[in-house]
Structure 1
Amino acid sequence: MTYNLLTVEPLNLDTITAVLAQCLHVREQEVDVADEDTDQELRNWDALVLCGKKSVLGDVSTSLDIYVQESVQPQPDESELASAFARAAGAVVLFPAEDVPVSAYWLATEDGRVTRARLYDSDDEEPVFTIDTVEAPVARLPHVAVALIPEVVRELKIATPVSDAFDVHLEHMRPDQAGTLGTPLRLASDRLGAWEKLIRHMEASWASSGWCPPDLYRERLEARDDLEQVRGQLPHDAATLLQKALEPLDALFAELTVDDTGGLLRKELPLAQDAASEHGWWWNRRPDPLPW
């Protein structure tokens, strides 16, 4: 298994060797750590753990590319290894998140906390790394802004079983149009997926992000508006299929929200005066509390 870690603090080879041995429950003699400019012929390629170390510039100091042989068991996932490494080394460790923008990382501190971080690297020949934002304060990074990171939520992998079933039926009914960009069928599929993502995210109490950016919430309400408009452009059988898909989702949305009698949602996500009547009933209900 491979791991990619970055540390805020500079670490020497002996420290990295000792920490990896401790975290992976192997002897130090079974760990081979080398700088990037080390003569590769001098390395122990039969070691249970191989690690390439590179010094980098900016808010992080050390980059580690780690390979662990399959015979080493158990094999922690990247989050587990990063957290264990941070505690053992007394360091702040960053590791990439999966299936999200390349700037979105996780950050583990020496006291066991894990939070999100936004990390950029420059286009210089020797890149300079900048930790732009963290979602929770990190004592060793007092200069870094603390704020929620919207793009992490936008890229969350949220299961959409109703939308998936709709797509399967649509493909059987209209194989020549279902996947074609710009068609009403494709628009219906995309907007239904966005609407279901909002509802499933809400149903899960906004896990795993813990919140929803207001701009994203607005986009997904607007996706529901689009479904009303596109329904009239669909063939009768596809329109019927869309209605059947919407019924349980709309009912679940109503169940998970409260009547916005005080107009709180409209204050947070104001509508143009001449456009308010074009929006559906879902704009008159809101999560309690609002998720941002």
Structure 2
Amino acid sequence: MTYNLLTVDPVSPEIVALALSGCLGIAVGDVDVADSDGDPDLRNWDAPVSCEYRAVQGDVAWSLDVYAQEHVADQPPESDLAAGFAKAAMTTVLFPAEEAPPSAYWAVTPEGVLTRARLELSDDEPPLYAITAVEAPVPQLPGATVTRFAEIVREQRPDTPVAWAFVESVEKVRQAASGLARLSLDDGTGSPVWTAKGNLVAWERVITQMESGWAPSGWYPAGLYRERLESRDELAGIGAHLPRDVTELLDGAVGQLDGRFAAATEDDPAGSLRRELPGGSAEQTPLGWWWHRRPNPAPWEQACPLPGSVVKSKEINR
């Protein structure tokens, strides 16, 4: 298994070997630690665990590429290894997150505080590593802005079984149709069927995350919430452009999701929700009833993790 770590402080090869041996449950002598630009003839290529290190510039000091061979019995998730290494080496450690943005990282402190971190590389050669933001304060990163990462929430894609059941049902209808009827079920980009699928997925995602308490981030951007309500608007009008049997399937799927949405929200007779969402005005009067219900508490008002809070690695969405 391969692990990719970045350390805020430089760590001696001896400390690297000691930390990795403890994290992976092997003897210190079974860890080969070497400079990535060093003499390959000096390496122990048969070592159960190998680690190549190189110095980098900016807010981090070392980049570590760790490889544990298959016969190493204890191979923890990268989050656990990073936390153990941070504690043993007494430095904050970064490791890449699962989400698509290349700047998406996690940071874990020697005390076990785990938080999102935004790591950006300059265009210099060699590049400068800048940790520009974190979601909870990190003492070793005083220059990083403490903020929420909306781009991370956008990347989260919870399962959407209702939407996929609709997709499968539409495909069955398409296979059974012929001629012009089959043409009306085209799901190419921009087609009514394609639009229905996409908006149904978006609507189910926000409901699923609402039901989970907005896991895994614990909050939700107000702008993204508005977009999800607008997806529901699209679902309300798309039926007129679909074949009748597909419209019936869509109505059934939307009905299931609407029931869950209603159960997870409360009436908003004063229209306070519309004043909180960007991109609109309180004077606008959306017709859909979903605009007149709100989650309580509003997920964009919820606080970031408390400074000094210890977050378990199992809470990482990986």
TM-score, normalization by structure 1: 0.96
Instruction: Determine the structure 2 residue equivalent to 1:124.
Output: 124
Instruction: Determine the structure 1 residue equivalent to 2:218.
Output: 210
Instruction: Determine the structure 1 residue equivalent to 2:299.
Output: 291
> Shift of the alpha carbon at 1:101?
1.6
Instruction: Determine the structure 2 residue equivalent to 1:264.
Output: 272
Instruction: Determine the structure 1 residue equivalent to 2:285.
Output: 276
Instruction: Determine the structure 1 residue equivalent to 2:98.
Output: 98
Identify unmatched segments of 5+ residues in structure 1: none
For the 8 Å contact 1:100–1:156, the answer to whether it is kept is no
Question: What CA distance in whole angstroms lies between the structure 2 residues aligned with 1:242 and 1:219?
Answer: 20
Instruction: Give 1:266's aligned amino acid.
Output: R
Instruction: Determine the structure 1 residue equivalent to 2:23.
Output: 23
Instruction: Give 2:266's aligned amino acid.
Output: V
Name which of 225, 241, 263 aligns with 1:233.
241
Instruction: Give 2:261's aligned amino acid.
Output: F
Question: What CA distance in whole angstroms lies between the structure 2 residues aligned with 1:178 and 1:30?
Answer: 59
For the 8 Å contact 1:51–1:66, the answer to whether it is kept is yes
Larger CA deviation: 73-82 vs 268-277: 268-277
Instruction: Determine the structure 2 residue equivalent to 1:45.
Output: 45
CA-to-aligned-CA distance 1:176-207 (integer Å, 9 cap, x gap): 64541110100000000000000000000101
Structure 1 residues 274 and 211: CA distance shift in structure 2, 3 A: closer
Question: What CA distance in whole angstroms lies between the structure 1 residues aligned with 2:265 and 2:40?
Answer: 61
Question: What CA distance in whole angstroms lies between the structure 1 residues aligned with 2:162 and 2:186?
Answer: 16
Question: What CA distance in whole angstroms lies between the structure 1 residues aligned with 2:145 and 2:103?
Answer: 15
For the 8 Å contact 2:274–2:281, the answer to whether it is kept is no
Question: What CA distance in whole angstroms lies between the structure 1 residues aligned with 2:161 and 2:210?
Answer: 15
> Shift of the alpha carbon at 1:136?
0.3
Question: What CA distance in whole angstroms lies between the structure 2 residues aligned with 1:186 and 1:72?
Answer: 47
For the 8 Å contact 2:99–2:152, the answer to whether it is kept is no
Question: What CA distance in whole angstroms lies between the structure 2 residues aligned with 1:58 and 1:287?
Answer: 42
> Shift of the alpha carbon at 1:174?
2.7
CA-to-aligned-CA distance 1:117-150 (integer Å, 9 cap, x gap): 1111122221111111100000111111001100
Moved over 4 A (4+): 175-178, 272-275
For the 8 Å contact 1:170–1:178, the answer to whether it is kept is no
Structure 1 residues 274 and 147: CA distance shift in structure 2, 3 A: closer
> Shift of the alpha carbon at 1:274?
7.4
Larger CA deviation: 227-236 vs 181-190: 227-236
Instruction: Give 2:204's aligned amino acid.
Output: E
Look up the SS of the partner of 2:4 in the other structure: strand
Name which of 200, 213, 228 aligns with 1:220.
228
> Shift of the alpha carbon at 1:14?
1.3
Look up the SS of the partner of 1:141 in the other structure: coil
Instruction: Determine the structure 1 residue equivalent to 2:63.
Output: 63
Instruction: Give 1:148's aligned amino acid.
Output: R
> Shift of the alpha carbon at 1:273?
6.7
Question: What CA distance in whole angstroms lies between the structure 1 residues aligned with 2:263 and 2:34?
Answer: 57
Name which of 188, 191, 203 aligns with 1:180.
188
Structure possessing the higher relative contact order (Cα contacts under 8 Å, 6 or more residues apart)? 2
> Shift of the alpha carbon at 1:272?
4.3
Question: What CA distance in whole angstroms lies between the structure 2 residues aligned with 1:136 and 1:227?
Answer: 38
Look up the SS of the partner of 1:276 in the other structure: coil
Identify unmatched segments of 5+ residues in structure 2: 176-182, 301-318
TM-score, normalization by structure 2: 0.88
Question: What CA distance in whole angstroms lies between the structure 2 residues aligned with 1:184 and 1:273?
Answer: 30
Question: What CA distance in whole angstroms lies between the structure 1 residues aligned with 2:42 and 2:170?
Answer: 60
RMSD of aligned C-alpha atoms? 1.4
Question: What CA distance in whole angstroms lies between the structure 1 residues aligned with 2:205 and 2:118?
Answer: 24
Structure 1 residues 250 and 106: CA distance shift in structure 2, 3 A: same
Look up the SS of the partner of 2:129 in the other structure: strand
Instruction: Determine the structure 2 residue equivalent to 1:248.
Output: 256
For the 8 Å contact 1:30–1:47, the answer to whether it is kept is yes
For the 8 Å contact 2:271–2:282, the answer to whether it is kept is no
Equivalent positions of 1:127-206 (< 5 A) are 127-174=127-174, 177-206=185-214
For the 8 Å contact 1:231–1:239, the answer to whether it is kept is yes
